[in-house]
Every structure is written in structure tokens, then in C-alpha cells.
Amino acid sequence: MAKTNQKWHERFRDRGLRFTQPRRVILDVLDNTADHLSAEEIYMRVHKKYPNIGLTTVYRNLITLERMGIVTKFHFGDGCHRFELIENKKKPDHHHHLVCTGCKRIIDYDDFMDEEIEYIKKVESALSRKHSFNITDHVIQFYGLCKKCKAA
């Protein structure tokens, strides 16, 4: 078993869940891409090698992976959910997104993270106090036009 597989296997075992074939295959797809894929796109990649795995199975397992904190689900305003592995070897663990409304391209960035963390911490603690709200995470997305679309 490959090293990453071993790691996933333990995560499932710790929760009393089985590391089934669809889960292994979905994680393999997400682990080998820098793209933010929709359930349908993941299904198409899975389907090439494993035609026995259906779209419903892919979708259901993505929700499980999200609940387990392995995958993040995003809305980028293009009418579908898109998924990304939280610990992706191709990306920094903590990053945010620039979303092009022209070509729908999604750019990962991790610039200015030190400044962001400082600011976010301040805002989070103030919000927590004001609304008695326990904040666990945040999502930051900027919408606009990429270099290519801006020139067109």
C-alpha cells in the first residue's frame, strides 16, 4: 500500500469507517490534481478506470470526506460544488482563491498569509465575543478578471 494510502486508511480506521474502493479512488484523483474539480468531473476521471463506480457513490463519498475534514467543498459561483483535498502535496495547506468570472479559472494563492492571519485573528476574536459564536474556519474568495480575460 502506498504511503498516502496508508495515511488515509488510518484516518478511516480511527473513525470506524471502511477505506472502500470508491474512497480510495476518489482520494487518488484529488491527490493527483491541482484543479478544483466538481463531483461530475471527479466521477468522469474515476469512471475511466472504474466504470462500476457511479456518480451517486462519488457524491455520497465526497460528503463523507468533507465531514471527515479531508476535503473542502467550495462554491465558486459556477453552479456546482467544487472539491479540493486539504492536504494536497501540490499546494500550500492554507491558501485562498482568485476566481475569474470570465473563464472560470481558479487561482490558488498563499501570498500575504502572515498579514491575513494577524487580521483574521483580530476579527475572529471580536466576532466571537460580540455574537458568542465559536469560529472554526473561514473562506476567502476574490472575484474578478484574470490577466487573459482582462486583455480580451
Residues 54-93 that bind Zn ion (CB under 5 A): 84
Contacting Zn ion (CB under 5 A), which of 34, 102, 107, 133?
102
The answer to the question of residue 108 lying near Zn ion (CB under 5 A) is yes
Residue pair 9/19 in contact by the 8 Å Cβ criterion: yes
* Cβ 15 to Zn ion shortest distance, Å: 25
Residue type, 68: M
41 binds Zn ion (CB under 5 A): no
Our finding on whether 124 is near Zn ion (CB under 5 A) is no
- The number of residues that bind Zn ion (CB under 5 A) is 8
Q: Please state, in angstroms and rounded to a whole number, the distance separating the CA atoms of residues 27 and 4.
A: 9
Name the residue nearer to Zn ion (CB basis): 68 or 149. Answer: 149
Distances (CA, A) of 127 to 88, 98, 100, 132, 138: 30, 25, 30, 8, 13
Q: Does 146 sit near Zn ion (CB under 5 A)?
A: yes
Question: How many CA atoms are closer than 13 Å to the CA of 49, on its beta-carbon side?
Answer: 10
Q: Count Cβ atoms below 10 Å from residue 61 Cβ, excluding itself.
A: 22
Q: Is 123 in the site for Zn ion (CB under 5 A)?
A: no
The residue from 1, 2, 103, 127 that contacts Zn ion (CB under 5 A) is 103
Residues that bind Zn ion (CB under 5 A): 84, 100, 102-103, 105, 108, 146, 149
